[in-house]
Amino acid sequence: PPPLKVVILISYGRGFGDNVPAPFITFEATGFPPEILRDIHAAGFLSPTPIQAQTWPIALQNRDTVAIAKTGSGKTLGYLIPAFILLRQCHNNPQNGPTVLVLAPTRELATQIQDEVIKFGRSSRVSCTCLYGGAPKGPQLKELDRGADIVVATPGRLNDILEMKKINFGQVSLLVLDEADRMLDMGFEPQIRKIVNEIPPRRQTLMYTATWPKEVRKIASDLLVNPVQVNIGSVDE
Ligand code: ADP
Ligand code: MG
């Protein structure tokens, strides 16, 4: 395949992208803890993907990001490694609720994300629970009760559990919306908004989307604060 074109759009108007940091071209440039670098090398990865190179330095500055990139571009580790680094620093008690919340459109995607947490988060001693519909709530609630640093969830099931008051978002300081355009296409916008309303406003929000239509731009402008916008490849609006 042709090399991906990397473009950082610094938009006009309110706040899009002041002082965008330079990308991390190599893994060593990231300054990630040695155990994380070791696991990355063990996976056989040679260099950061363009989305990782561009978004890691921004995420590590605790800034909001909206990243527009196609599937297969390495987005998952793009947000998970900054999440692990946050968790290594914050020492929240996972029994009191998650610190990181990842919303994804489907059960399949949510479990894939959990698999990446298990693979790359072990050295950071990160705990993770996955919540999705189409499966009984009981075992998920039981697992949640044991405590989780990271909750990966589909919006429908998470909103149900929230309405049952079975989850506390008071500690959430990183919110990730993965495949935001797909979540909106699936009609999850009301659930997403109810969930986000329960998260403390002093949080970092990272949004990933493959397309950039009006509806996604609207929710991005409602949920993100002064985001840096990163486009990998072309944007078809
Ligand atoms: P996306 O969410 O953008 O669709 P994924 O995060 O699922 O992409 O990554 C796609 C595949 O690429 C996964 O198998 C993942 O482990 C792998 N991957 C992630 N980062 C790298 C990298 N830096 N180099 C090589 N492969 C990578
Ligand atoms: Mg993905």
Ligand 1 center from residue 128 Cα (angstroms): 19
Mean pLDDT for 124-151 is: 97
Question: With a 6 A CB cut-off, is 26 part of the ligand 1 pocket?
Answer: no
CA angle centred on 210, ends 219 and 127, rounded to 5°: 80
What whole-number distance in Å separates Cα of residue 162 and Cα of residue 57?
A: 32
Q: How many residues does the chain have?
A: 237
Give the SS3 label for residue 195.
helix
Q: Please, what is the angle between helix 155-163 and helix 189-197, to 10°?
A: 50
Is the model's pLDDT at 45 over the cut of 90?
yes
Ligand 2 center from residue 72 Cα (angstroms): 7
**Confidence (pTM):** 0.92
Report DSSP letters for 38-90, one per residue: HHHHHTT--S--HHHHHHHHHHHTT--EEEE--TTS-HHHHHHHHHHHHHHHH
Q: Do the bridges between strand 100-103 and strand 65-68 make them parallel or antiparallel, or are there none, so unpaired?
A: unpaired
**Res 19: pLDDT:** 81
Residue 115: is it exposed, middle or buried by C-beta count within 10 angstroms (0-12/13-18/19+)?
middle
Question: With a 6 A CB cut-off, is 71 part of the ligand 1 pocket?
Answer: yes
- Across all residues in the chain, what is the average pLDDT? 91
Q: 130 pairs with which residues across the strands?
A: 152
Residue nearest to atom 12 of ligand 1 (CA): 74
pLDDT digits (tens, 9 = 90+) for 213-233: 999 999 999 999 999 999 887
Joined together, the tokens standing for residue 215 give: 């509806």
Ligand nearest to the CA of 69: 1
Q: Do the bridges between strand 204-209 and strand 174-177 make them parallel or antiparallel, or are there none, so unpaired?
A: parallel
| For ligand 1, mutation pick of 24, 45, 111 (most atoms within 8 Å of CB) | 45
